[in-house]
Amino acid sequence: MKGNVAVTSLMLTILAFAVCAAGQAPSPVQPPASTAPPPPPDMVCFGYGPNWSVQFVNGEARYIGINEPDQDFLGNFHWVPNQKTWVWQRQDDQSPPKGSFGLSAQIRKAACHDSVRKQTYPYSAQVNLPEGDSVNGCCRKLRPDEAPVGAHGLTPVPNSQNSQPQQ
């Protein structure tokens, strides 16, 4: 009988311990606070072979034509966290202009050396141009005196001699 009492007492102790432990369950592990993706700056990207230039401002892109008219595109940047890259894509409902392939870009905050200008810029880019060329180049933030892309094309800038951005 003493053995049964001891077993029962042991089981009650274990049960009491389990009930107390359940009441004081450890708090769940909190996932790390998700940080908002960095907003892409208003920027101009450019390169050579062929010569090309694209301005990105507020979801709009302007392909600066070399010996051809400029082309405007509506789209948006999307942040790809595991690649630490902004991807700009044309809006789904926007078809490319006739004879054009559209425009897309991947931009990364990584030093880019321009061997022609012998300068280093803060962003590098891989761009699919409207003609179908896939090119690499450099990007930098637009300067305050540069005309950004606007809803109706380039916004006029006082005392501006040239409406095209200088790279």
pLDDT tens, per residue, the chain with 167 residues: 555 544 445 444 454 444 444 454 444 445 455 567 778 888 999 998 888 999 998 878 998 877 778 888 889 999 999 999 999 998 866 565 565 577 899 999 999 999 999 999 999 999 998 888 899 999 999 888 776 655 444 444 444 344 343 34
CA trace torsion 136, 137, 139, 142 (10° rounding)? -110
Residue type, 105: A
Give dist(CA 124, CA 58) in Å, integer: 19
Flag whether 37 is in a domain: no
If one counts the domains in the chain, the total is 1
Flag whether 21 is in a domain: no
Flag whether 88 is in a domain: yes
For residue 120, the model assigns a pLDDT of 96
Flag whether 107 is in a domain: yes
Flag whether 155 is in a domain: no
Flag whether 62 is in a domain: yes
Minimal CA–CA distance to 55: which of 70, 68, 66?
70
Give dist(CA 56, CA 105) in Å, integer: 10
- Residue range(s) defining the domain that contains residue 112: 43-142
